[in-house]
Structure 1
Amino acid sequence: MARAETGTPKSDLDDLSAQIATLKKDVSALTKTLGDLGVHSKNAAINGAKRTASDAYEAGEAQFHAARDQAERAGQYAADTVRAQPATSMAVAVGVGFMLGMLTSRR
């Protein structure tokens, strides 16, 4: 049976030192890669949050404009109705005012 030679203690120590140096380089490269991954993940999260905020702002702005347009149409309709039927409009306004007065009076 053949016997494996291990070499001298000096050469074994040199091999071990070289392996440790290689491990240090590998750990350093791994640490840098993980750091880069963390930065990339942070940037992706920030960009996603900005995009979501921008979308929400645009949706809110569209809803605001739609509500404003509807309010303007309702106001224009009310004005047109008052011009077309002023007596009826006056009677309705007096009736609503009387009802509100009755509801809010202290008796």
Structure 2
Amino acid sequence: MATAAPKSNGTGKSSNEVEAVSKSTDVDELKAQIEILKKDLSALTGTMKGMGKTRAEALKTAASDQATEWKLQGEAAVDHARARGQLAYSQAEQSIRENPAMAVGIAAGVGFLTGLLLRRK
């Protein structure tokens, strides 16, 4: 078997030596690019984390504002219902004072109907 003698490229180095230097340079460049990518990925991760925190804070604030608004609306509805209940109570009380016989008759009728309904069971 014959082996090929290393060829010279005119620089005094064989083509295998030139290839080895070229591959070494390519590997070094690739390593440098990988390091740059790692740094870029780290920066991107930090940016996305910051954006996530900002968005979470905005959503938390919006939810808190909405809850406060609903609380105020609920309190207003309770106050309105309380006022209407008090008005109805005072109107009923006034009606009973003006017509006590009718009030007793209505109460007796309601009691009689309740008795009929409960007796059927």
User: TM-score, with normalisation over the residues of structure 1?
Assistant: 0.77
Pair 1:25-2:39 in alignment: yes
Structure 2: gaps of 5 or more residues = 1-21
* Percent of paired sites with the same residue: 37
1:40 pairs, out of 28, 45, 54, with 54
Alignment of 1:1-107 (within 5 A): 15-106=29-120
Larger Cα Rg: Structure 1 or Structure 2? Answer: 2
Equivalent residues, number: 101
Once the two structures are superposed, what CA deviation does each residue of 1:34-72 show, in whole Å capped at 9, x if it has no partner?
A: 010111121122222212222221111111111111110
The alpha carbon displacement at 1:75 in A equals 0.3
* In structure 2, C-alpha distance between the alignment counterparts of 1:9 and 1:93, rounded to whole Å: 106
Structure 1: gaps of 5 or more residues = 1-7
User: TM-score, with normalisation over the residues of structure 2?
Assistant: 0.69
- Deviating 4+ runs (over 2 angstroms): 8-25
